Amino acid sequence: MKTSLLFTLPFLLFFASLTAQTSAVSIHDVQGSGSVSPFLGQLVQLDTSVVTFANSEFAYIQDAEGDGDPNTSEGLLIDDGNTFQLVPGDRVLISGQVQELSGQTALGASVTINKLSSGTPLTPVAFDPGTSLVNGASPLERFEGMLLNFSVTAASGSDDFNSVDVHVTSVDRPFREPGLLPPGLPDLPVFDGNPELMNYDPNGLGQSNFIFHNAGDVIEGTGILEQFSFGYELSPIEPTTVELVEPTRPVRARTDDEITVASLNTLFLRNDESDYGLRLNKIVAYIGEQLHFPDVLAIQETGGSDEIEDLIFRLRQLDPELGDYQGFAPPDEGFLNVAYLVHNRIDPPAFTELGSNEFCSCGGFLHNRPPLLVELNVPGDESTTLRVLNLHIRSLNGVDDDVEVRIRRNEQAISIANMVENLRDENLVVVGDYNAFQFTDGYVDVFNQISGLPSLGAQFPVEEIVNPPLVNAAASLPEEEQYSFVFQGSAQQLDHCLHNELSGLTVNEFAFARGNSDASINYANNAFQLARASDHDGFVLYLGIDELSSTKNTNTRNLTSLRFVNPSPAGAEIQFYNLPADAIVTLTDVLGRELVLAGLQSSSAGGSSHSENGSFLLPQNLIPGSYRLTVRSGSRLLSSQQILINH
């Protein structure tokens, strides 16, 4: 093979001089088996390597042979700023000073490059790091800078930078676990931070930018694992294949003999925000189509009474019958408040703000958002009463650095525990955004202080107040469903539902309405997409009414819903639920042109209306773009959702 020399005789003389002074080392020697190079700060000459990626600013090279040790990386970053002449497949001799750039081993000073030949193929390495630390370093460290064949699963939706938290498909979805981040505190649990998580940047190395990834998407391709100050990042170097999932999943509608209690953090739903109108419409759609118009809805992070009135007006527009609510927000409104919507099929309830005059030992009022209690008579059985306590506890922001944050969270939890113990003589459900996990965070065990359930310990020990303990409704779910929020790729439950032993009511089910925590943030500004109405998933508790009066009008009916992957390809399957026999489904393009997709005829005796579940296929000849799927029954609008056709 003909040799191509990029540099002049002075370079060759310098390289020969360097060779005489320094013995050649391999990339795996420079990388070592730890998180920092054993050659840090030294000038090294590398054995022959192969270029795997290059642009005008930097390049990646890899040892073509390797040492066979799975604990050492064979890839290396060349941070030269003069690598425009290199292309993948070039065989090169390179020397330079070893540096750690934001944690990534690189040759970053006094770099010299000699290209020997071109067109050398290099087989990517199968990427499966596992979850255990290797020699005290992240399991990802041994793949740093390497050319990889990867199959990863999104653990979150696309963020503001269009990147995604991912883990390899052979690993279960990462969840937040009990305790503090390392090094922790003596005799308390420690959370490892889920080191198997990494960032995925669709266009980090020049590929096309896909901004609608949702948790659960499977992404496969060839790329390079980089490291930055925020952690490890996987970037493709050629087009990928993606298996998309639908981020939205509604709960079921209640039956005639049930009452539903729900909770939803509405994420800064304030009328002084510039996107208020869009946010209001998305929250209304989420309440109607995902939560199925719950009887009692506890709301967190809303402005106050004006926003509640707007919600009621829009819910009645969405459905005059099912959206017929009364509302309440505290009169002394702060920046963000807790509030309620209660369906008008329920007799007027009583609302009470609790703990508003309590003070914190660290100064100021204890509860920035005082717990809000609603007391009501259960519809269909006026002898059964129900109390619902709505919480929004001080957030975890600053908890690692500010002891006053821990003090306030601890004292709030103790205060609420005393409220719970005083209220538990009647049916009690405690819901809301606890801003706490279902286990200790290591500093304060907010959840188990309030619930009375066993604690793994905390810097502020749990006081014995609630006895007997409350029931954690989410514990009835499979473990993989016990989350309402995703933070840095770790699924976690911040929104909780506790209840005492109920009288006259039976707990039938508990479910999260998916569509927020797992979805791409880029759906947030899409008024026609249910996904990302908030950053928390809401939930519904279904309570069976033991002594339902047949004379009581429960005003309930099943709701129509459509489910599909979004974006979808032409010819994709659309699943439908509770579609009436006379329903007409239309697909409307951006010019307003309609295509009728389905018109089901009744199959029941006598031709009476009925509901059906099933699916149909979109036409194969749809061109890419934005469409609207609409379901009507006579003059009534049953569902309206946007669908994006990508190819």
pLDDT of 432-443, one tens digit each? 999 999 999 999
Residues 31 and 72: their CA atoms lie apart, in Å, by 6
Three-state secondary-structure class, residue 418? helix
Residues 488 and 236: their CA atoms lie apart, in Å, by 20
Residues of the chain with CATH 2.60.40.10: 561-645
Residue 163 is given by DSSP the state -
pLDDT of residue 615: 82
CATH architecture, range 258-545: 4-Layer Sandwich (3.60)
Closest by CA to 54, choosing from 34, 19, 81, 24, is: 81
Mark residue 70 as left, alpha or beta (left: phi above 0; alpha: psi -120 to 50; beta: remaining): alpha
431 contacts 298 by C-beta, under 8 angstroms: yes
Name residues whose C-beta falls within 8 Å of residue 8's C-beta, 6 or more positions apart in sequence: none
pLDDT of residue 13: 41
pLDDT of 195-206, one tens digit each? 999 999 999 999
**From edge to edge, which strands make up the β-sheet containing 584-588?**
594-599, 584-588, 625-633, 636-645
Residues 639 and 59: their CA atoms lie apart, in Å, by 51
Tell me, rounded to whole angstroms, the distance of Cα 603 from its chain centroid: 41
Residues of the chain with CATH 2.40.50.200: 9-123
Residues of the chain with CATH 3.60.10.10: 258-545
**Residue where the block lists tokens 């929104």:** 495
pLDDT of residue 380: 81
DSSP string, 484-503: SEEETTEEE--EEEEE---S
pLDDT of residue 624: 85
Which spans in 432-583 are helix H?
446-451
Three-state secondary-structure class, residue 101? strand
**Angle formed at CA 484 by CA 460 and CA 405, multiple of 5 degrees:** 30
CATH superfamily, domain 9-123, is Bacterial OB-fold (2.40.50.200)
The domain made up of 131-245 has a fold known as OB fold (Dihydrolipoamide Acetyltransferase, E2P) (2.40.50)
pLDDT of residue 590: 67
| Residue numbers of the chain with a pLDDT score lower than 70 | 1-23, 548-560, 590, 596-611, 634-637, 640
Q: Which is it for strands 385-392 and 505-513: parallel, antiparallel or unpaired?
A: unpaired
The domain made up of 561-645 has a fold known as Immunoglobulin-like (2.60.40)
Residues 303 and 487: their CA atoms lie apart, in Å, by 24
| Phi, psi (rounded to 5 degrees) for 461 | -60, 150
The continuous run of DSSP H or E covering 147 comes out as: strand 147-154
pLDDT of residue 553: 46
